[in-house]
Structure 1
């Protein structure tokens, strides 16, 4: 079962640094670049570059450079025509800490990049280079990356974005648009219900001490649950079940690995198939769950709750 990303969702998992990840079709307002990773204890600095090419020496529209030099700061700049521009520095409320995870999103606005770290606004950087020129995200330095995801982008014409992954149609908007940092519990209406080939994305963080969380696909009319995906950290289990006609069915608990760890981020993709839900966690196949509620248009509510902090919900 191959991982198929949602249209407008370009993920890359566990790359080694330095690396370059293409942004097909350039940037447009409403898109975002999402980076989740860990700052190692030996860190001195790292950088995230929104570059205008995939080679050394190309223009860099946005250079975001955390520096751990005893006077912790983030330096932002633009490299254009072979030289750096004037630096913009921020020293207060430094959001990166040695030995800890971070969640960073660069949101593309018409006049600027808005950088949020760990769910909080951190810095706004005005465009010096047209955003449409940006062709890739480049990460280098002392950092461990869990995933880099371009949200709202297209895929290359004539070839797959990733080996073994079918190419989605280019430059289509994300279905429904991403919702950033929604409150928990989360409730979302699914217009016309779930349907085959539709993918739901849930990204978040399990705080230390977290015990459990759930994702429910429900019918608003009957309050039945077509898929109950329940992560129970205290049991080292991920339970799948359905609540139909007033009672729970048989639990499914089989799993080859448990990817959910307190203090770490996760990325869940749930793709609707003709006969089953296909669940991927951090880009890896996790499980399949055959439909027990077969009237899919009736499944029109997404509910998320429990001991998590949500970063993004997209469908």
Structure 2
């Protein structure tokens, strides 16, 4: 039952930086995500920095067209927030496109990958590791590509957006 009061109370932010799940047990979290509903927008506590990793686990829909995972500088729509990296999985072309968008200007799109890792109706695990010069992206434990930073102030990259033909099972 998406959007119900019970759902919105399932995760509560505590003052000591811990999260409580609906059973009341504390879990340490560096990233605060209230609900895992697509389209999704969540805050990355403290922004990105070298050594920090964002984890997205989910299940691809049965008949997917595409989905996208973006790390952005805030969640502003007007003017649109800068996009540090957008990963867009396109199933018709079996491509994983990467790009950025800074001050409304899209960068040069990258598409080369050794293989297309996503399978309809199957789970996946995407890890975006922030290193000093680049994001290093892993899918199901295999390094797929590097994406060199186009936004130099890494701490400004503080929002994750996910949309498209998938369900999110875990974020961290």
For the superposition of Structure 1 and Structure 2, which TM-score range results when normalised by the shorter chain? 0.7 to 0.9
Q: Is the aligned partner of 1:300 residue 2:158?
A: yes
1:182 aligned residue: 36
Partner Cα separation in structure 1 for residue 157 and residue 57 of structure 2: 21
TM, length-normalised to structure 2: 0.78
Aligned partner of residue 235 in structure 1, secondary structure:
coil
Q: Is the aligned partner of 1:211 residue 2:69?
A: no
Aligned partner of residue 64 in structure 2, secondary structure:
coil
Of the three residues 86, 90, 104, the one matched with 1:228 is 86
Aligned partner of residue 42 in structure 2, secondary structure:
strand
Kept after mapping to 1: 8 A contact 2:57/2:125 = yes
1:208 is displaced (CA, Å) by 1.3
Q: Is the aligned partner of 1:196 residue 2:50?
A: yes
Aligned partner of residue 297 in structure 1, secondary structure:
helix
Extract unaligned runs of 5+ from structure 2.
1-19
1:213 is displaced (CA, Å) by 0.5
Q: Quickly say closer, same or farther: Cα 1:108–1:268, change in 2 above 3 A.
A: farther
Q: Is the aligned partner of 1:271 residue 2:129?
A: yes
1:297 is displaced (CA, Å) by 1.6
Q: How does 1:65-104 map to 2 (within 5 A)?
A: none
Structure 1 moving runs of 4+ over 2 Å: 107-110, 173-177
Render the CA deviation track for 1:105-149: whole Å, top value 9, x for unaligned. Answer: xx9976xxxxxxxxxxxxxxxxxxxxxxxxxxxxxxxxxxxxxxx
Number of residue equivalences: 148
1:175 is displaced (CA, Å) by 2.8
Kept after mapping to 2: 8 A contact 1:181/1:310 = no
Partner Cα separation in structure 1 for residue 68 and residue 120 of structure 2: 15
1:79 aligned residue: none
Partner Cα separation in structure 1 for residue 137 and residue 23 of structure 2: 29
Render the CA deviation track for 1:204-246: whole Å, top value 9, x for unaligned. Answer: 0111111100011111266110101111111110000000121
Kept after mapping to 2: 8 A contact 1:180/1:311 = no
Partner Cα separation in structure 1 for residue 31 and residue 155 of structure 2: 16
1:290 is displaced (CA, Å) by 0.2
1:305 is displaced (CA, Å) by 0.6
Kept after mapping to 2: 8 A contact 1:210/1:307 = yes
1:191 is displaced (CA, Å) by 2.5
Of structures 1 and 2, the larger Rg is shown by 1
1:180 is displaced (CA, Å) by 8.7
Partner Cα separation in structure 2 for residue 198 and residue 181 of structure 1: 22
